[in-house]
Structure 1
Amino acid sequence: MRAFFAAALVVVATVLAPFVITAAWGYERTSDVDAYVETVAPLAEEPELRDELADELGVATVAALEENLPFALPDQVDQQVADAAEAVVRSPGFPEFWREANRDLHAEFMALAHDGTDADDDAWVRIDISPLFQDVLERLAGQGLSALSLPEMTLEVPLVRESTLLEQRDNYLLLEDVARIGPWVVGGLLLAAVVIAPGVRGRLRTAGFGSLGIALAAGVTMLASGPLSDRAAEEAEQGRSGLVRLITEVVLESLGPHARNIGLVALAVGIVLLLASYWSRRARG
């Protein structure tokens, strides 16, 4: 009977583990600014991100010139602006800009998640690309357009409505609770299973199967990460900036490696414990 209850606890822990692994990963990526920034930093090398920002810069720069100059722009200026915007997003300084911009963005997300109670339906969470805009203007000046004097301007790209984020606030708080409590619950179930298992060999075997259960849960999480990423990216793209989809994709893609690392460790520990239980039986024999 003790062996049956021990096995039942291992099964329950295994069933809960994928949710806990996912919640712990998600909470770390969203609550820890350094973890978030390190996750999205590689996006700075993605052509799609650079093209998206280059387009935003080009359109904003042309609009600013048309609004602030008393004469019509010659046709070739559009191409000069586009070329300057391309050069800026491919410059060596762009990755550092991207990291700092996301650090500021993370602070705004967290403020809404923890403190936001009401939001204007028309208010957006935005990413400030003013430094890139100024770089574009400097490059244009270097191409002989120094006469184009513009007032200091702020350029922000809208990502997602604040009200949309607040709709997900309860889900985030639930994620936070699961991430904090879940590992203790799963660990407690496995510890209880080991304690009630009969004999030294039974406890080693229970611990081994518990570790293999965690490895199995990690494998399930890895398999689910792909469809989860696709669905989240599709939802993120609806009525929002394409940058949201890119950020969502790259964050969710980190779930698979995270689960794989947990699975490999758990698998190794499980095999060692099961082998130990086997040798324990031989020693007794």
Structure 2
Amino acid sequence: MNPAETPDSPDSGGTPHEKHVMTDEERAEYERLRRHAAVRHRGVRRAGSSVLLLLALLLAPLAVVAAWVQDTVSDTDRYVETVAPLASEPPVQEVVINRLTDRVVENVDVKAVTDSLTRALQDAGAPPRVVEGAESLEGPLRNAVRTVVDRTVTRVITSDVFQQVWEGANRRSHAAVVNMLTGDRQGALRAEGDTVRLDVGAVVDQVRERLVDAGFDKAAAIPDTDRTITLFQAEELGKAQDTMRLLDILGTWLPVLTVVLAALAVWTNPAHRVMLVITATGVGVMMVVLLVALAVVRRVYLDSVPPTALPTDAAAAIYDTFVRFLRDSTRTLLVVSVITALVAYLYGPGRPARAVRTVADRGTTAAGRGLSRAGLRTGASGRWLADHRAWLTGVVIAAGALALVLWNHPTVGAVALVLGIALAVLIVLAILAAAAGPADRAGQRAAAL
């Protein structure tokens, strides 16, 4: 209804009345009220968008961690891929070699051997000097036994056999991570009170068998007890387990909820592009915070491990191996956030953005005109590409985003590859659009007239 007109009175019987024309004061008041309503509406949208953005940013680090926990625990291949490198880490191998060598040497009674040799020499009437020499053989003999055992154990631990045994044991018991988080005492990795232990029983069996084959019959007496290595001790392990259980439950839905909140924050804000820049920047900042938190947790973990339980370099290797996929995911999301913020800014009215677009347009236009002059005109197809350029750009960007979503655990390299392909496609489309030729465009305008 036109605000400058008044409707017919219902009692007039349809008799027309003169139209009421607004005075300048009435029109000014009407415009003021209209602007006020619009401003209030935009303010409500901005406030709602800010709340949604705050929730999305707070949930972003938790969503990344939850997805990592759920993915590592539920996917056997992913779990094996996570723990497999531990078998080839030199600090971890050194710990296993030293522990197994100590166990074997402890079960070889060198003193009994020297005592038996001394008695045999005495019974044979050997000179006292020879008998005393036999008694002093205990130290050298113990060192020789340790050297041979260490060499044998090292060959086993550094061979492909250890790698295969390690991966096979973890593949059969990938639920060990769940056991650590829930406190169950089963599997290769388990939590006992405030201590997390690694069961190396399968490796002990392999070493014992190799030593027996090498002639060390005493190695068969290696006990089945104490076949675990303490990874770390933490007083807050119980709370961490409770937190991880919650993250595991939310692992599927928390990332989805975070993405939905971020999308709603952009959609509800009146300035969609500006809000997209803010959201992407905020997510990037939260990923940096998560990387810093991982570094702090690493330092706390290393400080909590007694050197007598596990050397610092071995503890560092274990931590870095377990969280490397979490770090990779965080870095990938950081790169995606930076790229999203940059692209959203380049589509804005800022002077640097306009300069970049101008340079890109001039470059693709020059290349297209060069093709046109060379006789490689795209004709109607080029004109169609030029008329639908904005739509095609959106399709290419959407296709790139979909490729990253469907990519199985994308890395920074995968993001760079998808971005490079998307840019190449956009450049090619722009060049083909510019290669339609000026004559063709003139003919098109004439036909339209």
Q: Same fold (TM over 0.5)?
A: yes
Choose the corresponding residue for 1:107, options 172, 175, 179: 175
5+ residue gaps in structure 2? 1-42, 115-137, 186-190, 358-389, 391-449
Which residue of 2 is the match for residue 86 of structure 1? Answer: 154
Q: CA RMSD in A?
A: 4.0
More displaced, 5-14 or 222-231? Answer: 5-14
Give the distance between the partners of 2:76 and 2:299, measured in 1 at CA.
Answer: 24
**Residue 58 of structure 2 is aligned to residue 15 of structure 1:** yes
Amino acid at match of 1:98: W
Q: How far does residue 93 in structure 1 lie from its aligned partner after superposition?
A: 2.4
CA contact (8 A) 2:212 2:220 kept: no
Counterparts of 1:136-285 in structure 2, within 5 Å, are 137-138=209-210, 141-142=213-214, 145=215, 150=220, 154=224, 156-159=227-230, 168-198=240-270, 202-237=271-306, 246-278=317-349
**Cα deviation, residue 77, structure 1:** 1.4
CA distance in structure 2 between the partners assigned to 1:168 and 1:93 by the alignment: 35
Is residue 17–residue 186 contact of structure 1 (8 Å, CA) maintained in 2? Answer: yes
Matches within 5 A, 1:32-71: 32-66=75-109, 71=113
Give secondary structure in 2 for the equivalent of 1:150: helix
Deviations 1:115-172 (A, max 9, x none): 849x986998541344454345525644xx2665836964722436999866643222
Larger RCO, structure (CA 8 Å, separation 6 or more): 1
Of the structure 1 ranges 253-262 and 132-141, higher mean CA displacement relative to structure 2 is found in 132-141
Q: CA deviation at 1:52?
A: 0.3
Distance 1:123 1:189, change over 3 A: closer
Structure 1 window deviating more from structure 2 (9-18 vs 221-230): it is 9-18
Is the Cα–Cα contact under 8 Å of residues 232 and 305 in structure 2 kept in the other structure? no
Tell me the secondary structure at the aligned position of residue 251 of structure 2.
helix
Check the 8 A contact 1:14/1:213 in 2, yes or no: yes
Query: Normalization by structure 1: what TM-score?
Result: 0.75
CA distance in 2, matches of 1:239, 1:172: 28
Deviates more, 1:246-255 or 1:79-88: 246-255
Shift of 1:113: 4.1
CA distance in 2 between partners of 1:152 and 1:159 (Å): 19
- TM-score, normalised via structure 2 length: 0.51
- Partner amino acid, structure 2, of 1:90: T
Residue identity opposite 1:21 in structure 2: V
Alpha-carbon distance in 1 for matches of 2:306, 2:180: 20
Identity %: 22
Bigger helix share: 1
Question: Does 1:127 pair with 2:196?
Answer: no
Larger radius of gyration: 2
Q: Amino acid of the residue matched to residue 247 of structure 1?
A: I
Mark the CA change 1:238 to 1:129 in structure 2 (over 3 Å): closer, same or farther: same
Mean CA deviation greater in 269-278 or 88-97: 269-278
